[in-house]
Structure 1
């Protein structure tokens, strides 16, 4: 009887000790192995897939620091005509500086400056096209300085005493510059991208 009592006492003690044990925490590997529940409700199944992230509109336009659309700054006049494909108006029969304009719907989009029979600059005077870095016609000087905080130099406007220019220096040696014209109302009226010295011609080729 004493032996049976001892066995019973030992069994009770083991049972009580197992009740006091702290449950083991599942490992991270075990948690990762558990599949994520899939929502199979009708509303979830009918929902359209998530749309991809929108592309930055400033990076999607034709204007670049090294050119415009299919054109590259420094290209010969023949290469410009071949790359543009559509007719360009304004060519002169000599080597003087002159401006070319696209025909048709794009006639007011961009003006191409040719000097020495090479593309050296392009000008934009509408708000449909965004400059490299995000600037555009209609923006204020403060907005431009936010977009170009380290390389923008404010200079006087030649014809408007209340106006300014923001001349954005190239990020790398020998790169093209951007010049934003800001009228007396404080907003950008035009901008241009080009090589020096042509980008600083105030009256264009004249």
Structure 2
């Protein structure tokens, strides 16, 4: 009985393998898998913060978590910017308001925004990365420019705002809490 099962199994394999073939057919090449969509490498930019710091952290928590010196004085209850010293000086600007981290800004193409957007991309590329969550709004100072304001995937989360120049290219972006993420001028 065991031999009969083996013979039947072999016959089934041969029959299935022969399906759709004629005597003159040659084996076809394996079906190519669709190209994988590149996933951006995880970086320091997150919807809830940047590197070791989290949005809504106190000024003391930001300074402790960052561990490196930050340039900029922060007067009481006033909006102000802090910049890392040294090699990271051009990477990010932290916005502190009410002695809390409320937003961060990026002005270069070395850092990728949460979700994959970055400086130098077109509006169309951004809309592909952030489908159904991005609202195109006019730029405050450039009547031919725009902003793409990306809503959070969950209620109450931070927003991403991409600034797009008259040529349709992202010049900078920021992640933050409302209303500070929408401050066009930022802080001094």
Q: Do they fold alike, i.e. is TM over 0.5?
A: yes
TM-score grouping bracket, smaller chain normalisation = 0.7 to 0.9
Deviations 1:92-117 (A, max 9, x none): 23220100000001000000000010
Match of residue 135, structure 1, among 117, 122, 135: 117
C-alpha RMSD of matched pairs (Å) = 2.1
Question: Residue 133 of structure 2 corresponds to which residue in structure 1?
Answer: 151
Deviations 1:63-89 (A, max 9, x none): 000000001001000000000000001
Contact between 1:141 and 1:186, CA under 8 Å: does it hold in 2? yes
Question: Residue 60 of structure 2 corresponds to which residue in structure 1?
Answer: 78
| Structure 2 unpaired stretches of 5+ | 14-37
TM-score scaled to structure 2, two decimals?
0.80
Contact between 1:59 and 1:132, CA under 8 Å: does it hold in 2? no
Inter-partner Cα distance in structure 2 for 1:105 and 1:23: 71
Inter-partner Cα distance in structure 2 for 1:84 and 1:63: 14
Contact between 1:176 and 1:195, CA under 8 Å: does it hold in 2? yes
Paired residues, number: 160
TM-score scaled to structure 1, two decimals?
0.73
Give runs of ≥4 in structure 1 deviating > 3 Å: 22-28
SS in 2 for 1:27: helix
SS in 2 for 1:105: helix
Inter-partner Cα distance in structure 1 for 2:8 and 2:117: 55
Inter-partner Cα distance in structure 2 for 1:66 and 1:24: 60
Q: CA deviation at 1:27?
A: 3.4
Contact between 2:74 and 2:96, CA under 8 Å: does it hold in 1? no
Inter-partner Cα distance in structure 2 for 1:108 and 1:26: 71
Larger Rg: 1
- Larger helix proportion, structure 1 or 2? 1
Contact between 1:95 and 1:115, CA under 8 Å: does it hold in 2? yes
Change (3 A) 1:26 1:62: farther
SS in 1 for 2:56: coil
Change (3 A) 1:162 1:23: same
Contact between 1:58 and 1:131, CA under 8 Å: does it hold in 2? no
